[in-house]
Homo-oligomer: A and B are copies of this chain.
Amino acid sequence: MVANAYEQAIELGSDPRECVCLNFRQASRVLTQKFDDALKPTGLTITQFSMLMPLEGKGPMRISELADFQVIERTTLTRNLSVMEREGLVKIVPGDDKRTRVVQITGKGRKCMQAAVPIWNEMHQSVLSQLGNSNWDGMRGEVQDLIRTLR
């Protein structure tokens, strides 16, 4: 009989403070705050930046396709896109298959991205140097593997 849940976890051989989920969530929150703050002058959040980027790199995409590519729940993407559509960052048009809708970046979206890229790059470089470039090269592979395995 252990005193509390923390002791119980230690007993099982795991320290809850070392939880992968906890640590990733914490880092995710802090990173999001910093990137959102840096991107403020561009009018984009890091969420929006991340959604627009593949639309730039790969062209128009179906909603499910973009959701899959971005590892985001489709219904979450729908909600995020409606904000972006209202702000004129994307246009959503019917696809050939009448079930589908296709997302494309607008002129305004491209303009915002053009302003955002240098700011994103500076933040990213700064984070990379904190993390150690070579460390991240290895870590990123592990993280992507983890994502692939879990979902």
Interface residues of A (CB under 8 A from B): 4-6, 8-9, 12-14, 16, 18-35, 46, 50, 52-53, 56-57, 70-73, 110, 113-114, 116-118, 120-121, 123-125, 127-128, 130-132, 135-136, 138-140, 142-147, 149-151
Give, as a whole number of angstroms, the nearest-CB distance from A48 to chain B. 12
Chain B's closest residue to A149 (CB) is B130
Judge whether B25 and A31 touch: CB under 8 Å.
yes
Chain B residues in 8 Å Cβ range of A132:
142
CA distance in complex: A6, B110 (Å): 10
Judge whether B124 and A20 touch: CB under 8 Å.
yes
Extra contacts, 9 of them, besides A5-B57, A25-B46, A33-B151 (Cβ < 8 A), are A14-B120, A14-B121, A18-B136, A24-B24, A25-B31, A30-B147, A130-B146, A135-B138, A139-B142
Question: Which of these, B71, B110, B150, contacts A5 with CB under 8 Å?
Answer: B110
Number of copies: 2
Chain B residues in 8 Å Cβ range of A151:
30, 33
Judge whether A32 and B25 touch: CB under 8 Å.
yes
Judge whether A26 and B125 touch: CB under 8 Å.
no
CA distance in complex: A149, B26 (Å): 13
